[in-house]
Structure 1
Amino acid sequence: PSTPIPPVTSCGAQSIAGLEPVPGGAVQKINQDRAIAIYPFNGDKACFLGGVFDGHGRAGEKVSQYVIDTLPEELASHPSIKEDPGEALRQTFMSVDASLADHVDASVSGTTAVACLVRGNHIWLANSGDSRAIMCRQKPKSNKLVAHDLTVDQKPDTPAEMKRILSLGGHVTPAGANGSPARVWHNLRGLA
């Protein structure tokens, strides 16, 4: 659904990259995270597209890169982008997911995704996985900002999501004692 927001007067993006050193100075893991901040989006100065994509698995960086390379263009050309941006965003998420396997070996890799499309004083959101959109609002008569979740994390160890996964023939391994998250196992599009 559309959520009214104050008019957008500016937008921006910031990223602080880093790595964890390991013995011998080798880089152990490739950064698999990607983000987009596109203004104006689709040639419209009242429109902004932002998103965060947290790749995971052996080729997570390739999956998240494919999504940021593909999603904005597909969304911009979607036939419903002007009349029904929320539906256009939902269908574009599904289309990009469906085309992924033809372009990247995603058999043991993937990405979470959260994207927001802002036009004027409305925002439309789509998410998959546990990347979350939040909005900060200023408390009345105060300079204090309060964060409000705009999306619900889709985690395999929550009862509703586990039920959905199991009903599709998937398998969920529980979170590990070492802090590793619960995992979904089955090669079906849309399962994880």
Structure 2
Amino acid sequence: MGCVHGKCCGRSPKSLDGDNGEFQDLGKYTCHGKHILANRSLDFVLVPSKNFRLEYSALTERGYYPDAPDKKNQDSFCIKKNIQGNPNVHFFGVFDGHGHFGTECSNFVKNRLIEILSGDPTLLDDPVKAYNSAFLSTNEELHNSDIDDSLSGTTAITVLVIGDKLYVANVGDSRAVIASKDGNQIISKDLSHDQTPFREDECERVKLCGARVLTVDQVEGKSDLSIQTWGDEETEGADPPRLWVENAMYPGTAFTRSVGDSEAERIGVIALPEVLTVQLTPNHLFFVVASDGVFEFLSSQTVVEMVSRYTDPRDACSAIAGESYKQWLQHETRTDDITIIIVHIKELSNVPTSLM
């Protein structure tokens, strides 16, 4: 959802051109027929310690804002293989910038987070501690950089693969989802939980830090200020509760954690991630890492079912981006930036292998 100041987007589908999150224009977009990533080979990486491989693809598409057609894509992503030279350690991350300098914040965090994480000698011994340290250090560096992050920043959803374990670190309202086979069904499981005022624990935490939690209508005097229940994101997404400083109409963030947003830090917005650990099993088929441009109108289960229809993650990326774009235009006059990484888990078995 970003902040009340909006996200910077433009109109033109883009796709991955290398593992650093850069992209190239591939012409007319379509969610049917051949995928728009067909001119590049399918990417994969081996995890030799557990004798399986990951096949993956990614796509980022600028949003469509009719009032600002030249706005930049504020999403970015990072795919980094063989962290610290270790063939069993790999990283996948999506970063959703917001505010006037959202693009700059997103790209700064994309680059520095993985650099700091890769340089941490404790990474393999204590991945959770290393994650926490990397996020907080990146946040501090962003504050001290030449980028004005007072009312700009980025969310971050990242997956670190270490052998057959996933470490999922989330800051904000993007999402990671894993798919499991259960008999004849494929079931989705969220690997992150959106950090927004809809969550009672997060709402109370920021209130204790001095945040006013109100919708835009409430701040503008159109709704009763005493109302402090907002339903859920599915039904109240059009005017969500936001965070405001006392007696002012800023920063208006619809999330409770981010990297950057130095003004919002005064009222409880923090860069400390929530980290979830997942032990992979042969029933796990794939995982998805995506910005809220995908999940605003598509449920986790819908996304998993769409991915399962395609053997090639390039096709699945294109189909989901296309459906997300369609859903946005059915509900809004614009679309958000849309970024998705799909990672298939191939040939994982229960057969023991040598330790890392």
Smaller-chain TM-score bracket: 0.7 to 0.9
Alpha carbons of 1:107 and 1:185: their partners in 2 closer, same or farther (altered >3 Å)? farther
In 1, distance between residues paired with 2:198 and 2:238?
A: 13
Instruction: Spell out the pairing of 1:31-50 with structure 2 (5 A cutoff).
Output: 31-50=73-92
1:105 aligns with 2:148: yes
Query: Which shows bigger deviation, 64-73 or 27-36?
Result: 27-36
Alpha carbons of 1:16 and 1:96: their partners in 2 closer, same or farther (altered >3 Å)? closer
Alpha carbons of 1:108 and 1:21: their partners in 2 closer, same or farther (altered >3 Å)? closer
Give per-residue Cα distances to partners, 1:113-142, cap 9 Å, x unaligned: 1111101101112111111111111122x2
Match of 1:20 among 49, 59, 64: 64
Partner of 2:196: 155
Match of 2:159 among 110, 116, 133: 116
Q: Does the residue aligned with 1:13 lie in a helix, a strand or coil?
A: strand
Alpha carbons of 1:183 and 1:21: their partners in 2 closer, same or farther (altered >3 Å)? closer
Alpha carbons of 1:150 and 1:19: their partners in 2 closer, same or farther (altered >3 Å)? closer
1:131 aligns with 2:169: no
Q: Does structure 2 retain, via aligned residues, the 8 Å contact 1:37–1:49?
A: yes
Alpha carbons of 1:21 and 1:173: their partners in 2 closer, same or farther (altered >3 Å)? closer
% identical aligned pairs: 31
Letter in 2 for 1:147: S
Which structure has the larger Rg over C-alpha atoms? 2
In 1, distance between residues paired with 2:125 and 2:72?
A: 40
Q: Does the residue aligned with 1:96 lie in a helix, a strand or coil?
A: helix
In 1, distance between residues paired with 2:216 and 2:83?
A: 39
Moved over 4 A (4+): 175-178
TM-score, L = length of structure 2: 0.47
Letter in 2 for 1:15: L
Unaligned runs of 5+ in 2: 1-49, 218-235, 246-262, 271-356
In 1, distance between residues paired with 2:156 and 2:237?
A: 25
Unaligned runs of 5+ in 1: 1-5
Q: CA deviation at 1:74?
A: 0.1
Match of 1:191 among 269, 282, 288: 269
Q: CA deviation at 1:10?
A: 1.7
Report how many residues are paired: 183
In 2, distance between residues paired with 1:122 and 1:101?
A: 32
Q: Does the residue aligned with 2:175 lie in a helix, a strand or coil?
A: coil
Match of 1:29 among 71, 79, 86: 71
Give per-residue Cα distances to partners, 1:68-103, cap 9 Å, x unaligned: 110011001113112111210121111111221111
1:11 aligns with 2:55: yes
